[in-house]
A and B are shown apart, each in its own frame.
Chain A
Amino acid sequence: MKANGITIDDTFAEAFGMSATGVIITADSPKWARQAAVTMSGFGTSVIGCGAEVGIDRELKPQETPDGRPGVRVLMFGFSPDALLPQLKNRVGQCVLTSPGSACYAGVESETRIGLGAGPRFFGDGYQTAKRLGKKRFWRVPVMDGEFVIEETTGVRTDAVGGGNVLLIGNDRAGLLETAELAVAAIGEVRDVITPFPGGIVRSGSKVGSKYEGMIASTNDAFCPTLRGAVKSQLGPDTVAVLEIVIDGLTSQAVANAMKAGINTILKDGGGKGVTRISAGNYGGKLGQHHYHLRELLP
């Protein structure tokens, strides 16, 4: 079908069950809360090579954070709670503890908990102290600009979803990127989701496996425009580029909402910017538990 001159494939995005956790990072200013969050989210694009998929969910107003300072919520997705634990420890220890004025709190509420301050508190070398308030314990680690406050645990859930996606296909690479940026911004308004790739956009969509031994994934040749004619391409003759937006969410509904927001924006703004087609990536529906049919997400 077509809308606003853009073809929408009759297909679906196939996504997977994942584990997820999150933190709230606060600082003296929104700038420094964001700085710590961006640093913590670095090298967190794909669970395949990074160990976790990490991104900023949203900025928080002072009244929304445990210490009344500006904050940012970061979400982290991985294969299991056990796989998330070292990622959380290392990223918080190296990227948040080190950031001026920062503090770090649980960003996901759940019965199941994993250690948050459990590792970084030992940086205090015995000078760290704890303050228990209700059911929560906060560690105070002395650092050179005062104290780093970090909650002892954060929630982890195993019913999260990773790999929701939308493909933008078109005949103008610059316009395509511009449209994808707008779609990512729209998705940014949806709670409980992240778009973990650079700027929320991935240009190297992958297929499972490779001709080379040991490679788990390799380039999605069917969507590479420069291979058109040489492989079994899924691209039309006018296509010059394909960009993908990958979405991870705490719930399946959040992923669906995010895809909907992205598709709406692409349909609204993409026609004049060279977007000719919207599609989605899947593996035939046999690998992932969550299927998001594009036609069900149209406005």
Chain B
Amino acid sequence: MSGLTFRLSTHPDERLDLSPLTPGRLAKLPLAEMLQLVVGTTKRQLKVGDLFAISGQPGDTVTIQGGSEHLDFVGAGLDRGTLILDGDAGAYAGRKMTGGELHIRGRAGALLGSGLSGGLIAVKGSAGDYVGSMCPGDKFGMTGGIVVVEGDIGVRVGEKMRRGTIIARGSAGTNAGSRMLGGTIWAEQGFGPAPGALLRRGTLIGPTVEQMLPTFADSGSHDLVILRVLSRYLSAMLGPLAPRPLSGRAHKFAGDLATIGKGEILIVS
């Protein structure tokens, strides 16, 4: 595995935009130009060279050592290769990613994977609000790809999500899957209050729901083949990152009947 390593040499006292640091964007840049890339977001115009020590050669991997909640847009626009952040990420990590893999070995801030359309995002810790959601000005949230968060996820995960899969090993906060148009959110430790508000299509999977909206109809317990298909697909795609396999047994709640009601919350044991 060849690649570059960016070691954070000082704690940033302003928010940074690290979207330039992807394998694709750095592939043909000489070191001198890498050092001049602007990553600051204030009039100081902080450059890579002001904050990071660089080692290695351009390749299919970029590693950022040292995390901070001020590191925004980590892996934004990633289209190939692997980006590893050895620490915490700020907001917008993996925004508008179309391919490749983003591994965050710490916590992630808000809007992780917003507008994601392809590739994999794996977060070792928890993630903030609006994971896989839309940003103001976007038409949709996630439209593809997979997000795996080993901890908990904040509120409104999957807001206006259209396709793709979000997995939380922990729980999901309030209003998960609100205004969702498709895709799958799987919270292994369950959902907070009112998941699926204005859900049109799509699937929310979890063992519990803190408070079910009255606009979801109890459709009974079933053996759903699609859950087996989903489990095997994720197992093939994610390997050890995959959630535990599902048997197919689920209690289905159909909704949100305040809209077209083609979505579902599946309670699995």
Binding site for B on A (CB under 8 A): 26, 66-69, 103, 127, 129-134, 138, 140, 146-147, 149
Contacts and interface: CB of A to CB of B under 8 A. Distances in A.
Where chain A touches its partner, the secondary structure class is strand
A165 B232 CA distance: 39
Given A132-B182, A147-B225, 18 more contacts: A26-B225, A67-B232, A68-B228, A69-B225, A103-B229, A127-B262, A129-B262, A130-B182, A131-B226, A131-B230, A133-B165, A134-B233, A138-B229, A146-B225, A147-B222, A147-B224, A149-B226, A149-B229
B232 A138 contact: no
Interface string B214-241: 0000000011111011111100010000
Nearest to A26: B225
A133 B230 contact: yes
A138 B228 contact: no
A275 B223 CA distance: 52
Contact of B233 (A69, A103, A130, A133): A133
Interface residues of B, number: 21
Given A134-B237, A146-B223, A147-B224, A129 B201 contact: yes
B232 A68 contact: yes
Contact of B224 (A68, A130, A146): A146
Interface of B: 144, 163, 165, 182-184, 201, 203, 222-226, 228-233, 237, 262
10 closest A-B pairs by beta carbon, nearest first, are: A67-B228, A133-B233, A149-B225, A67-B229, A103-B225, A68-B228, A67-B225, A132-B163, A66-B229, A149-B226
Contacts of B184: 131
9 contacts: A67-B228, A69-B225, A103-B225, A103-B229, A130-B182, A131-B203, A131-B230, A146-B224, A149-B229
B228 A69 contact: yes
Given A129-B201, A131-B184, A66 B232 contact: yes
Task: From A26, A131, A140, name the one whose CB has the most chain B CB atoms within 10 angstroms.
Answer: A131
Chain A CB within 10 Å, residue with most, of B144, B222, B226: B226
Contacts of B224: 146-147
